[in-house]
């Protein structure tokens, strides 16, 4: 198997609120919610860099589709990272996320690897790291 990820799906409790956070708050582009005419079908897609897409889907629909019981949310199960080109940009993105309704978990700070990073949670408590890593600059 080739190591390739093309879609990241986040289970959300309130799809409209989640779309508003990413679209209106963070300014990400989406055609909006599609598939609402199907039971367990309502989803929103966002195009990210390098062909990657983010999907927002009701947690109950994801549980139904996978056949797994819906569990409790846990912000420490995984973390998405957004790498930026400078320390100042970390603080700017964290501020933008806060203005959009995110909770700031950890403000921008110097890291052990010589970078600078902070964390926020979206309205469904998904954890995002915003990082400046001089060894992993975004293209």
Q: Which residues contact 6 (CB under 8 A, 6 or more apart)?
A: 51, 52, 53
Distance from C-alpha of 123 to C-alpha of 11, rounded to nearest angstrom:
11
Q: Which residues contact 115 (CB under 8 A, 6 or more apart)?
A: 131, 132, 133, 134, 135
pLDDT tens across 107-139, in order?
999 999 899 999 999 999 999 999 999 988 877
Whole-model pTM: value is 0.88
**Would the pLDDT of 84 be above 90?**
yes
pLDDT recorded at residue 129: 96
pLDDT tens across 15-54, in order?
999 999 999 999 999 999 999 999 999 999 999 998 999 9
pLDDT recorded at residue 125: 94
In order of start, what are the domains of the chain with their CATH numbers? 7-66 (3.10.180.10), 79-132 (3.10.180.10)
Distance from C-alpha of 1 to C-alpha of 84, rounded to nearest angstrom:
30
């Amino acid at each position: 198997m080739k190591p390739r990820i093309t879609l990241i799906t986040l289970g959300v409790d309130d799809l409209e609120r989640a779309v508003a956070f990413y679209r209106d708050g963070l300014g990400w582009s989406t055609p909006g919610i599609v598939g609402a005419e199907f039971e367990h079908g309502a989803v929103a897609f966002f195009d990210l860099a390098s062909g990657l897409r983010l999907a927002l889907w009701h947690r109950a629909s994801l549980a139904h589709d996978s056949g797994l019981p819906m569990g409790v949310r846990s912000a420490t199960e995984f973390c998405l990272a957004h790498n930026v080109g400078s320390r100042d940009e970390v603080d700017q993105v964290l501020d933008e996320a806060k203005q959009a309704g995110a909770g700031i978990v950890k403000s921008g700070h110097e890291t052990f690897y010589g970078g600078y990073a902070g964390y926020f949670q979206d309205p469904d408590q998904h954890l995002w790291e915003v990082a400046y890593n001089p060894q992993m600059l975004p293209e």
